[in-house]
A = this chain, B = another copy of it.
Amino acid sequence: MDPAEDLLKPVHCVSHTLQKTARVVAGLYAGELRSCGLSRGQFPILQQLEALGGGVPLSVLARRLYMDRTTLTRNLTPLERAGLVVREVDPDDARIRRVTITAAGRARLVEGREAWRRAQSQTLERIGVDAWRLLEDELRHVRKALS
């Protein structure tokens, strides 16, 4: 309240600052990923699915990605049609949809990672490795604090 009077002016908006920075960065990654037919929203999903090992309830996946559950549902549909993931009803609880990456999905992920790596390299080169190490920790802290 008192200690940060200057930060309560709209120029210092946390939301807008994050938003516009994310937009600037996103363009670079989308450009590289386009070459392998993955959008910048799809890549993190496949990535996370592989990391979690498969059979992940949709809600759990959504939380991991800090993504709205319904948004994830929409993003999953084209991936399923492309055969990169499968959505199966849990045998013990028919409410739960267990999502798993397929072999085709893993193959696509290999291509995707090359494209992604190019974008990440360029980005790190421009902003500096040390700067990103700092930033990454601070952003994690923000997410923890707000969710």
Contacts and interface: CB of A to CB of B under 8 A. Distances in A.
A131 interface: yes
Nearest to A10: B47
A77 to B, nearest CB: 20
A14 B127 CA distance: 10
Interface residues of A, number: 60
B136 A135 contact: no
A116 B13 contact: yes
Interface stretch (A91-99, A100-108, A137-145): A137-145
Interface string A121-138: 101101111011111101
A16 interface: yes
Contacts of A65: 20
A67 to B, nearest CB: 7
Given A17-B139, A19-B26, 12 more contacts: A4-B124, A8-B117, A8-B124, A10-B113, A10-B116, A15-B29, A24-B143, A24-B147, A127-B145, A131-B138, A135-B142, A138-B138
Interface of A: 1, 3-4, 7-8, 10-26, 28-29, 40, 43-44, 47, 51, 65-68, 113, 116-117, 119-121, 123-124, 126-129, 131-136, 138-143, 145-147
